[in-house]
A and B are shown apart, each in its own frame.
With several copies, the nearest count.
Chain A
């Protein structure tokens, strides 16, 4: 199994979720994060003093899928999340050693 970690623009969440559901993803974990990357770096002014805003709001998705689905899921996210503007985000893939569904005790691919 693979853990796919994707960081996307917040307003793309719903679109990505729908696209993923369409290809058969049945679960994921969504976290509100701050992203640091090439997109960042504008300065703001608060009460007359400048300061750099280095972080931008992002959404992080974590999805565990069977090995066979990993590429398709990656592609789906990439397609749905793309705006072609800076800051679209990254996708990382990691190996997962084991999975368990708490409710039923099913393991690995059955747990997803």
Chain B
């Protein structure tokens, strides 16, 4: 910390080596060289956006912990902390370079990136001729990692209350280390979806959200519904145990989404870029509001009483829907895009139930259906988008992720089993698998 002598000394020395450009003459002057300024802006923007997206991990955790039954709450917390941790390490070990091989390092150009550990710049950018036109690798890695972790968080919600801990974590390891990065490289790594198909997905309605959704859908189909969810031809709701937590989680996600979408502008080095980030913040917010209001009004009309869990899903639906193109729409279109997302959720939740696909927190409607909707909505707001580019990419990414995920789930089911025993499911995973209750106290005394 405040130890100006050492730190400043090191920093200045290192910079002097690395950045001869535009040096100021006054000796102790720390005015940044002109060339550094854009780099500092963009890098710092990534760090701020990155910590906001990190915060979404807490949001998913609280949302899911609030929407499961009490007897599975500790497990849901455990899964979320663990999945984020594994995602962080796997993205370092494999994911980052698989997703961003850079020019000429692809194993199969445009299709499969590079296998190597992620490496940051040297301290103080020493002895490197850093490209100052973008941002630091460290900030980019930090930011991108959070997107990867988000994908895994989506899966945990759908499969809650019945999946075993370790097979789930094994799936997360493969998802975050391999499946996510490979398909993400096709678009964001500059691969063939980007180069050949002109696919547009600004912040990842498809690349992140629908990917999580497809993996979740494959899991839900193979894992089957919770015991008693569909019995005697009827749906038996299993209300979430703690709605304040679910609401908190939604607000956290809403907040984190400003980083998710805003940071995806990737540059904050000009007035134009920062003005665009502002547009994105405003559009992201209004899309969430549109989704929430729509779900509120629709559940009031359809069921006579507004449903808080649907309103929360509606806000998230709005956020996912605007994610493929948060920049181009006007405030009005952004609100409408979000509103359609909110409507999708209200109809998709009971629709999935009719198909007996048991999605505990509504992740498939929110992330998969609205992810698709958001990706298609780009056609309406961004003239560069093409029907082929959007539709084909949705299909290709969907097929790839669904097939890989299904294969992996089936393999896991065959080898270790993925579902807890009936008895354990009835007892609850907290006691059965962890021996730890979320609210263990019986008596207040």
Contacts and interface: CB of A to CB of B under 8 A. Distances in A.
Given A44-B435, A47-B310, A13 B349 contact: no
Interface in B39-96: none
B442 A55 contact: yes
A46 B235 CA distance: 10
A44 B445 contact: no
Contacts of A49: 234-237, 350, 353
Interface in B221-245: 234-237, 239
Contact of B307 (A47, A51, A57): A47
B443 A13 contact: yes
With a 10 A CB-CB cut-off, give which of B303, B305, B307, B445 has the most chain A CB atoms.
B445
Given A11-B426, A51-B236, A51-B237, A45 B443 contact: no
Contact of B237 (A9, A46, A57): A46
A100 B303 CA distance: 39
B259 interface: no
Interface string B405-445: 00000000000000000000010000000011000001111
A37 to B, nearest CB: 15
Given A49-B350, A57-B444, 14 more contacts: A30-B442, A32-B442, A44-B435, A45-B305, A47-B237, A47-B307, A47-B362, A48-B302, A48-B346, A48-B349, A48-B350, A49-B237, A51-B235, A57-B445
A34 B442 contact: yes
Contact of A59 (B236, B304, B346, B445): B445
A105 to B, nearest CB: 22
B139 interface: no
23 contacts: A9-B445, A10-B445, A11-B426, A13-B443, A13-B445, A32-B443, A32-B444, A44-B436, A45-B304, A45-B307, A45-B435, A46-B237, A46-B307, A46-B309, A47-B310, A47-B349, A47-B353, A47-B362, A48-B346, A48-B353, A51-B237, A57-B445, A59-B445
Interface in A1-47: 9-11, 13, 30, 32, 34, 44-47
Interface residues of A, number: 18
Secondary structure dominating the interface of B: loop
A55 B387 CA distance: 53
Interface of B: 234-237, 239, 302-305, 307, 309-310, 346, 349-350, 353, 362, 426, 435-436, 442-445
A88 to B, nearest CB: 13
A47 B442 contact: no
Interface of A: 9-11, 13, 30, 32, 34, 44-49, 51, 55, 57-59
Contacts of A51: 235-237
B309 A11 contact: no
Contacts of B234: 49
A44 B353 CA distance: 16
A48 B443 contact: no
With a 10 A CB-CB cut-off, give which of A10, A32, A48 has the most chain B CB atoms.
A48
Contacts of B426: 11
B238 to A, nearest CB: 8
Contacts of A30: 442
Nearest to B348: A48
Contacts of B237: 46-47, 49, 51
B247 to A, nearest CB: 15
A90 B435 CA distance: 26
A63 to B, nearest CB: 17
A62 B445 CA distance: 18
Contact of A47 (B304, B350, B445): B350
A47 B309 contact: yes
Contacts of B442: 30, 32, 34, 55
